[in-house]
Amino acid sequence: MKLKSSTLRTFTTLHTWVGLVAGFALFVAFYAGAITVFHHDLMVWQSPHAIEQPVGTLADAQHLLDETLERHPDARAWVGMMFPGEESAQPLVYWPDAKGTWYYATPDDLQGSTEPPAAALAELVNALHYSLGIPVAGIYLMGIVSLLYGVALVSGIVIHLPKLVDDLFALRPGRNLKRFWQDAHNLIGVLGLPMHVMFAATGALLCLAMVVALALNPLIYGGKLMEAMPAALDTAPQIAAAGKPERLGGLAMWHVRAQEEAKQRGLDAFEPVYLKLTNAGDANAVVEITGEAPRTLGALGAVALNANTGELIASQLPGSRDANHATLSIAYLLHFGEYGSAWVQWLYFLLGVGGAFLFYSGNLLWIESRRKKRQAEQGTAQLWMAKATVGFCIGVCVAISAAFVASQVLEAKSAAWGVDVATGINVACFGTWAACLAWAAWRPPIRAAVELLGAAAVVTALVPVAHGAMTGAWFWQSAAAGHTALFAIDAGALAMAVGFAWLARVSRQRARVGESNSVWALPGNA
């Protein structure tokens, strides 16, 4: 297949500029997304000695729910609960008060607090992934970025389709660094293409579902979108309280009834993970139990019951749910890799790191392609693109590692210091990121790159050190005790630190012996 040169130039230009516009956000999304694949493990890693906690029982969960409903009348209108299990060894309940402030309670803290236990780090990384940490508007921004990402993928396919096989196996190291970076960029893009297409499609769907629904409101929902949304997103219908008191059923009964309904729909196994309860103590009390059905596509499903009698109200289970629920469930599981073993998680992690490299290398190629080969002074656009790439991309790597270190220190010292853990972690992350951006703006690009890569290596190496020092769970002890999740996070941080150190060394070497007329060269190559 041969394309006209004019067509190829058009798609190359489109690919370049769309990649540049969306590349910064996509770098953060992929780097943070690689980490958030281990979302549940991060909560265990953050919490001191959480791995040693025995798994709670349904009786423990029932006691917690009863105490919450008794102590906190606001929870009777709406309360959620995580069952004890793989995600959380102990049960956790959460509810909003009349002002919309969320509270969380555990068997060790029946009174509850506004800070979820050991979730601040995982939530921060997840927020960086889907919204860059920007409240409200961030998720819609990332939806638009996902659409641009799709455009970049399509244009990249058109560019490389005529020479797909050659691009797949071409990786030519040597003195021509631009060619090497181009080969690496193409190789990673081609190898990961199917997954990148999936990430773009599911990312746009998950971020922009509400925007699409609002656009189609007059045509499909007849202007009654808000009334239709609960049925489209939830399993349990919205039922008003009857104002008639009635004795509430128990967790054991709900647990059994949910599994019975799943079995009747052909599911051999259904393990409840969390629930939502409304109108507790009323005749119209409704409980929606969400659980996992192994070996199914879109494994999460839900059963809604009358919370007093156990009578079935509605269900959305794998193999027997409507198009809305099936699409959103499958999109979520595909996007976050929650459909396989640990091997799938590590594959997603590598794809995330590879994707971050894809966008970082795209910026480097843009800078190099506009290099003025016959003069030492480079253009302002290239100079500031280099500064922005270093500060924004390498800066977020330093910032996330700083948040990991801060999470361990604050979990151990926050009570004595009077500091909120979540606030402290956010300040550490975004304060470090801002400092990296300022440093990159002040320093020459190559010096900033070497220095920030060195900082990334040091701070990332401190992650397992902080974990071991604050909890006593050194990574070799975690390995010996069979605590795979703790060992994997600490060992992974050490591996990333080595990678950052290697990149710093290569960048320093490039500055000294590489092409002198470049933003990546030291004055006089000295």
Distances (CA, A) of 377 to 381, 439, 510, 520: 12, 21, 17, 11
Cβ distance 81 to 61 under 8 Å?
yes
Give percent of the chain above pLDDT 70. 79
Question: Strand 102-106 relative to strand 300-306: parallel, antiparallel, unpaired?
Answer: unpaired
Higher pLDDT, 44 or 305: 305
Cβ distance 75 to 95 under 8 Å?
yes
| The two structure tokens encoding residue 425 | 């972690």
Give percent of the chain above pLDDT 90. 34
pLDDT at 65 over 80: yes
| pLDDT in the model for residue 526 | 40
pLDDT in tens, 234-243: 778 888 899 8
pLDDT in tens, 449-480: 999 999 999 999 999 999 999 988 899 988 88
| pLDDT in the model for residue 487 | 92
227 pLDDT band (50/70/90 cuts)? low
| pLDDT in the model for residue 118 | 72
Q: Which of 27-36, 174-183, 291-300 has the lowest mean pLDDT?
A: 174-183
What mean pLDDT comes out for the span 31-44?
90
| The two structure tokens encoding residue 371 | 């290099």
Taking each helix axis from N to C terminus, what angle separates 5-36 and 395-417, rounded to the nearest 10 degrees? 20
Question: Strand 78-82 relative to strand 271-278: parallel, antiparallel, unpaired?
Answer: antiparallel
Q: Which of 47-61, 109-123, 403-417 has the lowest mean pLDDT?
A: 47-61
What mean pLDDT comes out for the span 381-396?
89
pLDDT in tens, 99-133: 888 999 988 888 888 877 778 899 999 999 999 98
Query: pTM of the predicted model, to two decimals?
Result: 0.85
312 pLDDT band (50/70/90 cuts)? very high
| pLDDT in the model for residue 289 | 93
| pLDDT in the model for residue 326 | 73
Q: What amino acid occupies position 453?
A: L
| Rg, C-alpha atoms of the chain | 26
Of 58, 35, 151, which is closest to residue 407 (Cα–Cα)? 35
| pLDDT in the model for residue 418 | 80
Distances (CA, A) of 491 to 31, 453, 474: 17, 19, 10
| The two structure tokens encoding residue 446 | 């190559």
SS3 for 72?
Answer: coil
pLDDT at 164 over 60: no
233 pLDDT band (50/70/90 cuts)? low
pLDDT at 55 over 80: no
pLDDT in tens, 253-307: 999 999 999 898 888 888 898 999 999 999 999 999 998 877 666 667 889 999 9
Of 329, 301, 304, which is closest to residue 317 (Cα–Cα)? 301
**What integer best gives the mean pLDDT of the chain?**
82
SS3 for 111?
Answer: strand
Taking each helix axis from N to C terminus, what angle separates 380-389 and 445-471, rounded to the nearest 10 degrees? 10
Most confident of 123-137, 284-298, 330-344, 429-443: 429-443
Cβ distance 239 to 278 under 8 Å?
yes
* Residue located via tokens 């493990």: 41
Higher pLDDT, 232 or 97: 97
**What domains can be seen in the chain, in order of their start residue?**
1-47+120-233+339-369 (no CATH), 50-117 (no CATH), 234-336 (3.10.450), 377-526 (no CATH)
pLDDT in tens, 474-517: 999 888 888 888 899 999 999 999 999 999 998 888 777 767 67
| pLDDT in the model for residue 520 | 74
What mean pLDDT comes out for the span 88-103?
88
SS3 for 47?
Answer: coil
What mean pLDDT comes out for the span 401-430?
90
| The two structure tokens encoding residue 202 | 């599911």
| pLDDT in the model for residue 131 | 92
pLDDT in tens, 391-402: 999 999 999 999
* Residue located via tokens 């540049």: 20
Residue 439: half-sphere exposure toward Cβ, Cα within 13 Å? 23
Q: Which of 297-301, 361-365, 430-434, 509-513 has the lowest mean pLDDT?
A: 297-301
| pLDDT in the model for residue 223 | 65
What mean pLDDT comes out for the span 304-328?
84
